Amino acid sequence: MDTAGRPRRVTRRRAETRRRLLDAALDVFAERGLRGASIEEVCDRAGYTRGAFYSNFRTLDELLLAVSEDYSDQILDRLRSALLNLPDDLPDGEEVLDAALEMVLAVLPDDRRWWLVETELVLHAARNPEAAEAAERLRRRFAAEFTSLVTWAIRRVGREFTCPPEDLVRVIHALLDGAQAQRHLEPDAVPPGRLERLALPALLRAFSRPAGAPH
Amino acid sequence: MDTAGRPRRVTRRRAETRRRLLDAALDVFAERGLRGASIEEVCDRAGYTRGAFYSNFRTLDELLLAVSEDYSDQILDRLRSALLNLPDDLPDGEEVLDAALEMVLAVLPDDRRWWLVETELVLHAARNPEAAEAAERLRRRFAAEFTSLVTWAIRRVGREFTCPPEDLVRVIHALLDGAQAQRHLEPDAVPPGRLERLALPALLRAFSRPAGAPH
DNA sequence: AACATCGGATACATCAATGTATTGAACGTG
DNA sequence: CACGTTCAATACATTGATGTATCCGATGTT
């Protein structure tokens, strides 16, 4: 009924239903896309009828957004714990960069469903002003957190930026996005991490330097 | 009726109808997406009824592919003529790279519709085996042509690769893709060419060197 | 100019999905 | 344990889109 209404308290049953709907939706959206998915199919897979859906969400659009928030939080958690827990015995000099990079790559999800759904959300937001606002919030939150993590890691690794951190993060983000797409489109030609290992070391070295080094 | 049938000869009228349908479809797919678009809306905008559609295509999927082929050919034409007509008075040394880069950036389309439709096709292909095959062909054709253009330009500019050309092209492609997405999602934060000018010079210098230079 | 073919318009039958209104069961609270 | 509330199931009315079968005007050929 209302998702923006009273701060309805969530019973156990409700939480469980929502969880299962979100999980099912990730699958269905990945397979069929936003407009290609039907409310009924999501409910079927979650083991409910449409009644459950209408009791928890108003539209498929709203569900897509919820799925995205949910998953994106999971990614941030993993990234955070990977970067904040870099081992103490990192190698010295330049190799430290590559070591840190490996840590990050290891923790980034290679989930095809997520790629599909994220892309779907991007498209949806690009077309729909209301969705755009919500997606923008999500994106900002992610970018802010990501930037601060990268900043922290660059320092941790004994380097400093030679450009605004936001710029570097944008470039990294762009590259990760594009690489992800190629990987999923041509899995054989582009094994996971391939493009990232090619480009990121060069970029990181171009946009940061050992701390205290002369310009 | 048949798109794979007899090589039906195209009358003037037919060609015109097809053109207008393709143009209308670019708009409609951009606004609504593949599954969100209706055959009727495409026809309305093109100034026809659904009869015209069914006489030229079998499904919306087929139309999407046709639109993509059409537009992608246009891009290749522009790229080709830009790169093959680099001026004779290019600057010397390292700046030649930047000069060439500017030429390319100037000619790449910044068409929001195209970004939307291309992304839509990617998603569609990722989900649909039959579409995947067709999209794959398109992609290959583009990549091959693009690679040979870049290779030509790198030589033309007095440099040589320090990695397989395909790798560099993939990295460039990934970056262009990701940058395009950011640009369209946050037009204010990411003006056209911003990320490209940040990252590409660094990447080009990392993966090519002046011809004949020592390793 | 007459004719055969082609291409697009129209009418129709069908279907899948939606949102709402209502019901009955599960839940957890006192 | 009983009661009131919450939640999901069900039934129903409605809609928008699809594909086909048919028709008629446009096109270009001899």
Nearest CA-CA partner of A46 in A71, A76, A75, A67: A67
CB contact under 8 A, A35 and B31: no
- The pLDDT of residue B93: 74
pLDDT digits 0-9 by tens, A126-182: 999 999 999 999 999 999 999 999 999 999 999 999 999 999 999 999 999 999 999
- The pLDDT of residue A1: 39
Q: Please answer whether residues A85 and A152 qualify as being in contact, where contact means their C-beta atoms are separated by less than 8 angstroms.
A: no
* H-only helix segments in chain B: 12-32, 39-46, 50-56, 60-84, 95-107, 112-127, 129-156, 165-185, 194-207
Which of the pair, A186 or B88, is modelled with greater confidence? A186
pLDDT digits 0-9 by tens, B141-197: 999 999 999 999 899 989 999 999 999 999 999 999 999 999 999 999 999 999 999
Nearest CA-CA partner of A150 in A88, A208, A215, A192: A208
Interface A-B, measured as beta-carbon pairs within 8 A, has a size of 124
Residue A5 has pLDDT above 50, yes or no: no
Q: Is A160 helix (H, G, I), strand (E, B) or coil?
A: strand
Nearest CA-CA partner of A189 in B115, B145, B139: B139
pLDDT above 90: percentage of residues in chain A: 80
- The pLDDT of residue B9: 66
Nearest CA-CA partner of B196 in B68, B94, B91, B98: B98
Nearest CA-CA partner of A200 in A99, A103, A106, A98: A98
User: Average pLDDT of chain B?
Assistant: 92
Residue A213 has pLDDT above 80, yes or no: no
Which of the pair, A2 or A13, is modelled with greater confidence? A13
Confidence category of residue A215, pLDDT binned at 50, 70, 90: low
Instruction: Considering only CA atoms, give the Rg of chain A.
Output: 20
Two tokens, residue A205: 């070295």
How far the first Cα of chain B sits from its last, in Å, is: 60
Question: How many angstroms away from the CA of A88 is the closest CA of chain B?
Answer: 30
Confidence category of residue B2, pLDDT binned at 50, 70, 90: very low
- The pLDDT of residue B8: 57
Q: How far apart are CA B82 and CA B67, in angstroms?
A: 23
Per-residue burial over A133-147, b if 16 or more Cβ lie within 10 Å, else e, is: ebbeebbeebbebbb
Residue A123 has pLDDT above 60, yes or no: yes
Strand C: positions under 7 A of a protein C-beta atom: 6-11, 16-22, 26-29
Query: Residue B129: closest CA among chain A residues belongs to which residue?
Result: A185
pLDDT above 90: percentage of residues in chain B: 80
* H-only helix segments in chain A: 12-32, 39-46, 50-56, 60-84, 95-107, 112-127, 129-156, 165-185, 194-207
- Parallel, antiparallel, or unpaired for β A208-210 and A159-161? antiparallel
Burial of A129 (0-12, 13-18, 19+ CB in 10 A): exposed
Residue type, A176: L
Residue B3 has pLDDT above 60, yes or no: no
Q: How far apart are CA B50 and CA B52, in angstroms?
A: 5
Q: Please answer whether residues B117 and B30 qualify as being in contact, where contact means their C-beta atoms are separated by less than 8 angstroms.
A: yes
Closest partner residue to A170 among B33, B171, B195, by Cβ?
A: B195
Confidence category of residue B132, pLDDT binned at 50, 70, 90: very high
Residue B6 has pLDDT above 70, yes or no: no
Confidence category of residue B4, pLDDT binned at 50, 70, 90: very low
Q: Which residues of A touch B139 (CB under 8 A)?
A: 185-186
* CA torsion through residues B120, B126, B127, B132, sign: positive
In DSSP terms, A177 is beta-bridged to: none
Nucleotide whose C1' lies closest to the alpha carbon of residue A37: C17
Q: How far apart are CA A62 and CA A134, in angstroms?
A: 10
Nearest CA-CA partner of B103 in B118, B85, B89, B120: B85
Q: Please answer whether residues A1 and A56 qualify as being in contact, where contact means their C-beta atoms are separated by less than 8 angstroms.
A: no
Closest partner residue to A175 among B127, B136, B174, by Cβ?
A: B174
* CA torsion through residues A173, A178, A183, A189, sign: negative
Q: Which residues of A touch B122 (CB under 8 A)?
A: 119, 181, 185
pLDDT above 70: percentage of residues in chain A: 95
Which of the pair, B22 or B74, is modelled with greater confidence? B22
B89 CA to D8 C1' in angstroms comes to 74
Residue A26 has pLDDT above 60, yes or no: yes
- The pLDDT of residue A9: 65
Could you tell me the pTM of the whole model? 0.92
